[in-house]
Chain A
Amino acid sequence: DQQVKQNSPSLSVQEGRISILNCDYTNSMFDYFLWYKKYPAEGPTFLISISSIKDKNEDGRFTVFLNKSAKHLSLHIVPSQPGDSAVYFCAASHAGSGYALNFGKGTSLLVTP
């Protein structure tokens, strides 16, 4: 049962524009959310996170928004750069699971020049 869902398998954006990646979750116990970025032939790397007590967290060009009532979060990348082309995984966890991460299936982002 997929508790974290990324419904868009792929996204293409022009360089300099905003990329918006979406994620939905079903388990209301999740209280910590993360985004990971993955290049081919490499493991995922941590990008940004947000606690359920916040609704926004920003780190440079990357901002994560959390809407708890809708069980939805999104990652905004502004401005998008070709080096951002990768697969982005949304993940969620809660204390009751020992904070083991539940991942979505990923969204492949392509930023074109």
Chain B
Amino acid sequence: DAGVIQSPRHEVTEMGQEVTLRCKPISGHNSLFWYRQTMMRGLELLIYFNNNVPIDDSGMPEDRFSAKMPNASFSTLKIQPSEPRDSAVYFCASSFGQGAEKLFFGSGTQLSVL
């Protein structure tokens, strides 16, 4: 299995632009998670889906952030408009079952908003 695949690996954009991060979970996994890593806050859970349905989005910073999972093999995290404070590494992870006992993480997207 190829593991969790995220794209792009790096994204540099200017403040105010729309940013879309993409994730393909491991086939057969039915839970998908978006995390953000910063020096100040470590790894924060933004949102997670179970069977393509958003279960908890309380970690989404504000309305500028949105996430979708149109099918079991694809998810997006969108930031519109982006701001410099959104600069971070964004990780997607997937697991089997409702729990997150053992998450499998992608390699992350390094986002820089100038």
* A interface with B by C-beta (< 8 Å): 2, 32, 34, 36, 41-46, 49, 89, 93, 95, 97-106
Whether A49 contacts B101 in the complex (CB less than 8 A), given A43-B4, A100-B45, comes out as: yes
Number of A-B contacts defined by CB within 8 Å: 68
Whether B101 and A100, one on each chain, are in contact in the complex, defined by CB atoms closer than 8 angstroms, is no
Which residues of A lie under 8 Å from residue B41 when comparing CB positions? 2, 105
Residues 37-56 (chain B) with a chain A CB within 8 angstroms = 41-45, 48, 50, 55-56
Contact of A43 among B50, B101, B102, B108 (CB under 8 A): B108
Whether B100 and A101, one on each chain, are in contact in the complex, defined by CB atoms closer than 8 angstroms, is yes
Chain B, Cβ-Cβ closest to A43: B105
Chain A, Cβ-Cβ closest to B95: A99
Whether A34 and B102, one on each chain, are in contact in the complex, defined by CB atoms closer than 8 angstroms, is yes
Which residues of A lie under 8 Å from residue B91 when comparing CB positions? 43-44
Q: How many residues of B contact A (CB 8 A)?
A: 25
* B interface with A by C-beta (< 8 Å): 4, 33, 35, 41-45, 48, 50, 55-56, 91, 93, 98-108
A102 to B46, CA, bound (A): 11
A97 to B56, CA, bound (A): 9
Which residues of A lie under 8 Å from residue B101 when comparing CB positions? 32, 34, 49, 93, 99
Which residues of A lie under 8 Å from residue B48 when comparing CB positions? 98, 100
Chain B, Cβ-Cβ closest to A105: B42
B36 CB to closest chain A CB (Å) equals 11
A44 to B44, CA, bound (A): 13
Contact of B103 among A32, A97, A98, A101 (CB under 8 A): A101
Chain B, Cβ-Cβ closest to A41: B107
Chain A, Cβ-Cβ closest to B50: A98
B41 CB to closest chain A CB (Å) equals 7
Whether A49 contacts B102 in the complex (CB less than 8 A), given A98-B50, A100-B48, A102-B45, comes out as: yes
Whether B99 and A93, one on each chain, are in contact in the complex, defined by CB atoms closer than 8 angstroms, is yes
